[in-house]
Structure 1
Amino acid sequence: MKKITLVVLGLLFIVACNNTEKKAETPENKKEESKVVTKKYPKNLQKVFDAHGGIDTWNKAQTLVYEMVKPDNTEKHITDLHSRKTRLEGKGFTIGYDGKDVWLAQKDSTAFRSNARFYHNLYFYFYAMPFVLGDDGITYEEEKSLSYDGVLYPGYKISYGENVGDSPEDNYFIYYNPETYKMEWLAYTVTYFNGKPSTKRGYIRYGDWQKINGVVLPKVLTWFTTDEEGNVKEPRNSVEFSNVSLTEKTMEASTYARPTDGVIVPKGN
């Protein structure tokens, strides 16, 4: 589901000197050549980015680290935000993506029983919303508002171009508070391991915000149940995120490298 293998988030560099006649190199020309144009997003999605600290602030960061607290396990996740290399350290297992392959190392066959390729960046994309929605290869469409507890949350549908990541058929639906513009809900569809996409949506509520190096990120994600019509009903389970750091420091390549006991996980496994 490495959706957005997608690289330098949100910035396009342009060179302003296209004249056939070479200009003299002056301070004014140099300044013009270094001009940066920020990628354009739908107006209200831009407001969502701004409410969370700004996508330009996010783009300056290099590494995101957090601990994800589960009832039976605490995992440490490290992600390079530009290459999307990852390392997950859990109870008896380590999963990584070195820029080419997803790999799994575990003490025994029972340490990790899920799909490592599907899992290696799953929670990163949930946690790093809304900023990962600024990646390349994305199409934005206005979505019908989500109604919950008497509030209408406007939203956008997020879809992907062909061959973007492992599951380009997956879709996200972001919903924001109409007053604060903070992201409060995420709906998503998942492509099954047999390659068939699903239209059934899962729902996550975002809240208990914390400011990390100028960026507003959630402390808790809560999954909700739905009824037969797909309406959001009740909280089902929550995941807490702690010891979060967002820095401009790049980790050593060895952080993401496959260890000697690591096994490459092929697509579909």
Structure 2
Amino acid sequence: MKLVLVSLLCLSIFACKETPKEMKTESEVPEKVAEINDSMHPESLQKIFEAHGGLEAWNSKRTLSFEIPKPENTEKHTIDLRSRDEKIEMPNTSMGSDGETIWLLEEKGAYKGDAVFYHNLMFYFYAMPFVLADDGINYSEVEALEFEGKTYPGIRISYNDGVGISPKDEYFIHYNPDTYQMEWLGYTVTFRSGEKSDNIKWIRYNDWMNIGGLVLPKSLTWHEYEGRTIKAAREPLQFENVTLSESPMEVDFFLKPEKAKIVNGKTE
């Protein structure tokens, strides 16, 4: 499987001149390996996958779509789970990746964020814990997390050198010892700086829904924190109209629109 970090991005230098490229055909989309080798995953992580519906069921899916309602707009995210191509649609703006480039299409000045950083960001948070089965990951035990008198065992996730452009990012997944459902995600951000960070941000995963046999988040809640001490909760981020399909999108769905600009990537 193709690894997507919080800041997983194309490695190529910004292209100054766009040149036409051929449309990707269905046969060119990478096929996911059907056989699952769970021996590379710690036993506790295998149990977490099973508690969320299992890797086999996840790997049978091709397209994930969800909406994130925000005060200023609603974002629709669509992801090809094999290629990890993505399109994010919102009023006056769309962005995505097509296997070659990360692109942004906007009315002048409409998008105020960093399209490169935002690429695949919410997908990666949403698709926990399954994205932790991606290639290039190292697993180790980590100190348990304590919150409101309950202890949550954990697994530290790090990445091999050269995986994505932020291989120094780390994740800390903490799970309910009784049910093995994940309850917390700690993560560091090294995008742009490239320097290892000790600043671990914390998200609570305690609001789930069943989508086609897979247990996925209904909402995520970021918390204030001081080191590993979890403090007040922020307003939950909601996910709506979630769909999982075994069918791919049309072959040109993720391609860069003619008028979009390349924000990171390459042209042919």
- TM bracket (short chain): 0.7 to 0.9
The residue type paired with residue 248 of structure 2 is T
User: Larger relative contact order (C-alpha < 8 A, sep ≥ 6)?
Assistant: 2
1:252 aligns with 2:258: no
User: Where in structure 2 are the equivalents of 1:173-188 lying within 5 Å?
Assistant: 173-188=172-187
In the alignment, structure 2 segments of 5+ residues that lack a partner are 1-6, 12-29
8 A Cα contact 1:190 1:198, kept in partner: yes
Q: Secondary structure at the match of 2:235?
A: strand
Q: How much has 1:115 moved relative to structure 2? A: 1.1
Match of 2:192 in 1: 193
The residue type paired with residue 247 of structure 1 is S
Higher mean C-alpha displacement, 36-45 vs 247-256 = 36-45
1:42 aligns with 2:42: yes
8 A Cα contact 2:183 2:205, kept in partner: yes
Moved over 4 A (4+): none
Match of 1:233 in 2: 231
The residue type paired with residue 243 of structure 2 is S
Q: Distance in 2 between matches of 1:243 and 1:4?
A: 29
Q: Distance in 2 between matches of 1:179 and 1:72?
A: 40
Q: Distance in 2 between matches of 1:91 and 1:173?
A: 34
> For the structure 1 residues 215 and 250, does the alpha-carbon distance in structure 2 shift closer, same or farther, using more than 3 Å as the test?
same
Identity %: 46
User: Where in structure 2 are the equivalents of 1:1-269 lying within 5 Å?
Assistant: 1-2=7-8, 11=33, 36=35, 38-40=37-39, 41-109=41-109, 111-227=110-226, 229-266=227-264
In the alignment, structure 1 segments of 5+ residues that lack a partner are 14-35
Q: Distance in 1 between matches of 2:36 and 2:98?
A: 30
Q: Distance in 1 between matches of 2:89 and 2:255?
A: 13
8 A Cα contact 1:158 1:171, kept in partner: yes
8 A Cα contact 1:200 1:230, kept in partner: no
The residue type paired with residue 72 of structure 2 is D
Aligned residues: 240
Of structures 1 and 2, the larger Rg is shown by 1
Q: How much has 1:3 moved relative to structure 2? A: 7.2
**Normalised TM-score (structure 1):** 0.85
Q: Distance in 2 between matches of 1:116 and 1:193?
A: 13
The residue type paired with residue 238 of structure 1 is P
Q: Distance in 1 between matches of 2:36 and 2:104?
A: 39
The residue type paired with residue 164 of structure 2 is G
8 A Cα contact 1:116 1:265, kept in partner: yes
8 A Cα contact 2:63 2:78, kept in partner: yes
Q: Distance in 2 between matches of 1:199 and 1:264?
A: 32
The residue type paired with residue 252 of structure 1 is E
**Normalised TM-score (structure 2):** 0.85
> For the structure 1 residues 37 and 131, does the alpha-carbon distance in structure 2 shift closer, same or farther, using more than 3 Å as the test?
closer
Q: How much has 1:149 moved relative to structure 2? A: 0.5
Q: How much has 1:90 moved relative to structure 2? A: 1.5
- Root-mean-square deviation (CA), in Å? 1.9
Q: Distance in 1 between matches of 2:203 and 2:71?
A: 18
Q: Distance in 2 between matches of 1:253 and 1:67?
A: 22
Q: How much has 1:4 moved relative to structure 2? A: 11
8 A Cα contact 1:192 1:198, kept in partner: no
8 A Cα contact 1:3 1:164, kept in partner: no
